[in-house]
Structure 1
Amino acid sequence: MTGPPQPPDFDGFLLLVGKLNYAWTNTESLLIHLIAGLSGMDKETATVVFLTLNTTRARIDLVERLSKLERTAPTERQRVLALTGRIQKQAALRNRYNHCIYAFDSEGNPRTILMRIADRKDRLMIGQSDPLDDAAAGNIETAIEKLAAINRDIWQAIRELGYPE
């Protein structure tokens, strides 16, 4: 006999979000090596550039724009763009759990409330709410696995393309 889905332990869920953040920042930091390799600068200078850009979007934009320069070989460009595309696909989930309010209903079930305005043609949508259930936890676990794979693939590209390590 199965009942309604049970919410995961809230502390356990927060631990999962922490693991997601760790996997995200660890993988995002590898953009430093892509910036260095694509621009021809040393890793220290690339680190300054990376830290000066204060959003993931700006950092990915820089990597993608550098890869699109004519001097970049088409195979190198395709490889870098595929990697940044994979990172971007994980951004929505990460952003959902980092830019929300965590709330509880009257029965103590946790949920997220997005802190974003969705501007539609004739109305605004505010406060989209999603339960913190087994499906949500599974999505985070999958994202962590995907980020780990992206991380490994970026390191492989860094080495194969001869970018500064």
Structure 2
Amino acid sequence: MQNNILFDNIYIGHSVEDAKKFADETFFKKHVVETALEEAEKPKVEDKPLSPNDLKFLDDPKKYITEKLDLFLTIAKNNPVEAIKFVPEIAGGLAAILVTIIAVVVGLLGAGSAPAPAAKKEKTDAKDKAKDKDAKASATGADTGKEATKRTTRSQS
């Protein structure tokens, strides 16, 4: 088929035999060649990786994680230390998940507890002491009978 032509090989008529003859002469001869050209123009699909080491995270994240996790668990059944050495990204991910869960649990338990009652008592004690000082200061000034002294400043000359 030529470029920029949307359709061709059109038969307009009443005879089925003539339509079949026209199709054999035009469509079926070109169709095989056209499909072969379309297949040749398509980008080639790369072969799938054969081992987990050939996988790349950005190509297929889900497959990457499942393959690496499966490999880690298979090796860990026999030798956990070897699994950590061979697939450290999964070991690190599992450790990060564990630390996160522990931090969330500790945070929830810490946030749910009430503040220490001693802290409240100290605050009220400090307020009472301040009130007592004020009351004592005003009472002692009147009781002692001392006269108020005026502050002296330098005279301006």
- Per the normalisation by structure 2, the TM-score is 0.23
Q: Answer 1 or 2: higher relative contact order, Cα 8 Å, separation at least 6.
A: 1
Identify the structure with the greater helix proportion: 2
- Per the normalisation by structure 1, the TM-score is 0.22
